[in-house]
Structure 1
Amino acid sequence: MIGQTIMVQGTTSDAGKSTLVAALCRAFLQQNKSVVPFKPQNMALNSAVTIDGGEIGRAQAFQAYAAGLEPMVDMNPVLLKPTTDMGAQIIIQGKALHQMSATQYHGYKTIAMEAVLDSFRRLNEQYDLVVVEGAGSPAEINLRDRDIANMGFAEAVDCPVILVADIDRGGVFAHLVGTLELLSESEKARVQGFVINRFRGDIALLQPGLDWLEERTGTPVLGVLPYLHGLHIDGEDGINPLQADKNEGRRLQVVVPVLPRISNHTDFDPLRLHPQVDCHYVGAGQTIPPADLVVLPGSKNTIADLRWLMEQGWASYLQKHLRYGGKLIGICGGFQMLGDLLVDEQGVEGPAGSVAGFGLVAMRTELMPDKQLHRRTGVILPLNVPVAGYEIHAGISSGPGLQNAMIRFDGIGAGESNEAQSDLDGVVSDDGKIMGTYLHGLFDQSNALSAILEWAGLEQVETMDYPRLREQQIERLARCVNEHLDMERLQQMMQSWYAVRAK
């Protein structure tokens, strides 16, 4: 069986590609189609561990849930995780293989394309429909040579494309027409429809522009999607603005530093959405507010980000915070920063070197080339509550300060060796004010979240079911496209496209 393929490309980054792919996956699933998301190449610091033991972009994991699937490495065969402004870790089919500069990677794209097509063919043979997400814009002229992310991929597999543009940022007609003008004739012919995203207002006022656009380009507008206020979905890379109804009365004050290379910041979405929590992101040069709980996040360049924290005054802030009874959690790279020393002799995340940590836990961490990728379940020992999540890290931490573990994990997962895992993870300080762990997704389960908030000082904690909230948002996306996108016309277009090619 060979399925059909539709590719969603955007006129800009953040035009709505990831969201539209997720919405289409759920809408087609509701039609009892077997559908799978796919992104040839992603550049993001938010990632997830797959059921087959690899690493993919967080957005593709979210799209997998929308399609009713567990995340798999073939859904995102090439993932680029920037470590500096000029270089990135190159992850091919779930495994970190290289550290390259942008110039080096450009030359490597022909090899990366082999992995892309290999993964795509496997999915294409297993599912009725592959919904593909492009990256950035297909009109980025400097990146068209050896392109594997947009039209280069579409032409390689001969699939139709729909082009999405964000009207909320303005210039939507210029974005759509200008993008088409910068494509080759064969690429233009692939664009079978437009989608306008994040529209606010009366559609009647937009209609003359839609008529002009269709007449000017000969390409139909498949739909105008409204701006969805309060939409909460996993962020692909940048920190999404989230809004939630907050209760009256005292709320727990949580502070998270925005590291230059912050990774997996989706860890904190449950905190940001909890009705009894005020979660504050603090960036460069900003005053650090008083807090009940400080959470140090993960990092793709832990040593450089630790130095940045020191420069921003976080060492003295944390000492004062703990002295006055505040609580502190370090996650992944943030956990490593709690110790006495971080060592990267092999240049795993940046230039080889070492740096002193905050000295709050008697441990040292050495970064190693082999990355640990595990899904985990277990118990938060000091709180006696179950927890589930995933590990993505290159560090090995050791020292006398780790005698009091934060988490005891359950049995070894399928396909994983005892050497690769330990039953115990993280640390709890003797005074109970500090916890640290390698586990991402710490706040995702309602029982674990409530227990941590209570530990941090919140009384009468309200239960929040984050997985249920995520499912509600996916259903909301599906309702949106079913109501505002001409799904029948889209499917007819796809059938016509592949009928012609079957002759």
Structure 2
Amino acid sequence: MARAIMVQGAGSNVGKSMLVAGLCRHFARSGLRVRPFKPQNMSNNAAVTADGGEIGRAQALQALAAGVEPVVDMNPVLLKPETETGSQVIVQGRRLATVKARDYAALKPQLLDACLDSFRRLAATCDLVIIEGAGSPAEINLRAGDIANMGFAEAAGVPVILAGDIDRGGVIAQLVGTKSVLDPADAGRITGFLVNKFRGDVSLFDEGTRQIAARTGWAPLGTVPWFADAHRLPAEDILDIRSAPRDGAFRIVVPRLNRIANFDDLDPLSADPALSVEIVPPGRPLPVCDLVLIPGSKTTIADLDALRAEGWDIDIAAHRRRGGHVLGICGGYQVLGRTLSDPEGLEGAPRTVPGLGLLDVETVMRPEKHLARVRATDTASGTEVTGYEIHLGETTGPDTARGWLMRDGTAVGAASPDGRVLGCYLHGLFAGDAFRAAFLSRLGAGPSDGPYAAGVEATLDALAEHLAGALDMDAILSLAGPV
């Protein structure tokens, strides 16, 4: 019989995703069959699974940490924000609807059933399920119909450990205050607590630990020092992606779109010390560089409007006139064309807008979403390229005849006649070391630093060892309940 434990946070961004990844790697290395699970996630950074659906990228990383392929049951509900008040709802890997925040509550009974169904199916395949909550259970205004934290824990009958973040300050209030606002039954589900992101001598917090334990009755599980290599792991949120400017290196500039999506394309580039990657926020012009990389977008036409409002279209055109290179991926590919059409109003009112005109292609938005893992070949170097497609829209036009990638004898993407403007729908392509090195060397970059995927694996191992040195792993395992 499988056991399960749920990691919830005393606030948002306390490090739950990283903690779950590290716990998955630790217990997998201990010989257990481990699976990550997050009932509800909110992110536009998605992964395509082996079974052809989409889940949050954090759960894909946690699956990697557990040594298994990601499947849709690891994240049965994924909310992908499209506006400030509405999100696309993905259930068990497939789009269910786009709903306003105020209407989402009506879906929750149906969504809880899907979460429990996925959880039970996942638990049947393993020894231990490590569950990640979302936000914080202290948001008691969201408790009615909750499927992300205590509502799920109650329905599934799983115990909870609560994580606090000492780096932001007030961790004693975070943890003790959470207990004070929770319903007694919910507070009773919490069996232990931990403190994350401590800088300095952890023994200095011993008295704080005693005070939290005395006021909550929860078992202290440890204090985790700051993990300096966290930036080497794929980021879940664009705010976690760091610019990596390096003097003298090949310079890549990325405009930070409002609804940037599937930005894992940037992780291998930011990790490579041979490259300088600068993510430019709104309000700043795009600086002179070697390559402008336009990333994916959840709402492409709206982000194209915003790009123009920032004046970035002028910066990109000037970069092109100087002989610079431009690469667009997914939504970034679509904006490079002559026109973008949304005849069915998938992103708002039906309309057709002019693109940047750097590629002789046109894109028409269609409601059918393309979800696929892809293997292709770089035509210039012959190296294999692997990645995934996750997009709405069909792109056609003369420049697609110069597709710079080939899949099963068919050209993929598009290229300008001089090859300086490229576009494709393939996310994750830079994770492959051979392709990344070949592609960037053609653009004038120096030698690549090498193995990205191996670096992620090594960082997950280091994270597991880091947690094992700080937390009482035997106690955590003993707190996991049967399911």
Task: Output one character per residue of 1:318-349: Cα deviation in whole Å (capped at 9) or x when no partner.
Answer: 12111111111000000000101111122223
CA distance in 1, matches of 2:346, 2:113: 25
Deviation of the 1:242 alpha carbon: 4.2
Residue 415 of structure 2 corresponds to which residue in structure 1?
428
Correspondence list, 1:101-112, <5 A:
101-112=100-111
Determine if contact 1:245/1:275 at 8 Å carries over to the other structure: no
Determine if contact 1:262/1:299 at 8 Å carries over to the other structure: yes
Establish whether residue 278 from structure 1 lines up as the match of residue 276 from structure 2.
yes
- Cα 1:195–1:352 shift into 2, 3 Å: farther
Establish whether residue 19 from structure 1 lines up as the match of residue 6 from structure 2.
no
Residue 251 of structure 2 corresponds to which residue in structure 1?
253
Letter aligned with residue 180 of structure 1: K
Deviation of the 1:244 alpha carbon: 7.2
Correspondence list, 1:63-462, <5 A:
63-231=62-230, 232-242=232-242, 250-410=248-408, 423-459=410-446, 461-462=447-448
Determine if contact 2:273/2:449 at 8 Å carries over to the other structure: no
Residue aligned with 2:359, SS: coil
Residue 457 of structure 2 corresponds to which residue in structure 1?
471
- TM-score normalised by the chain length of structure 2: 0.97
What are the ranges of 5 or more consecutive residues in structure 1 without an aligned counterpart? Answer: 412-422
- TM-score normalised by the chain length of structure 1: 0.93
Task: Output one character per residue of 1:385-429: Cα deviation in whole Å (capped at 9) or x when no partner.
Answer: 221100000110112221111211148xxxxxxxxxxx3210111
Task: Output one character per residue of 1:290-338: Cα deviation in whole Å (capped at 9) or x when no partner.
Answer: 0100000000000000011111112221121111111110000000001
Aligned residues: 482
Residue 32 of structure 1 corresponds to which residue in structure 2?
31
CA distance in 1, matches of 2:340, 2:285: 26
Residue aligned with 1:485, SS: coil
Task: Output one character per residue of 1:241-294: Cα deviation in whole Å (capped at 9) or x when no partner.
Answer: 548796xx7210100000000001121011111111110001111132101000
Letter aligned with residue 51 of structure 1: A
CA distance in 2, matches of 1:491, 1:157: 18
CA distance in 1, matches of 2:319, 2:285: 14
Residue aligned with 1:354, SS: strand
Residue 489 of structure 1 corresponds to which residue in structure 2?
475
Residue 480 of structure 1 corresponds to which residue in structure 2?
466
CA distance in 1, matches of 2:15, 2:349: 36
CA distance in 2, matches of 1:239, 1:470: 19
Determine if contact 1:376/1:410 at 8 Å carries over to the other structure: no
What are the ranges of 5 or more consecutive residues in structure 2 without an aligned counterpart? Answer: none
CA distance in 2, matches of 1:144, 1:424: 50
Residue aligned with 1:230, SS: helix
CA distance in 2, matches of 1:190, 1:462: 49
Letter aligned with residue 427 of structure 2: H
Taking only the aligned residue pairs, the percentage that are identical comes to: 46
Determine if contact 1:24/1:478 at 8 Å carries over to the other structure: yes
CA distance in 1, matches of 2:347, 2:17: 28
Determine if contact 2:78/2:90 at 8 Å carries over to the other structure: yes
Determine if contact 2:2/2:126 at 8 Å carries over to the other structure: yes
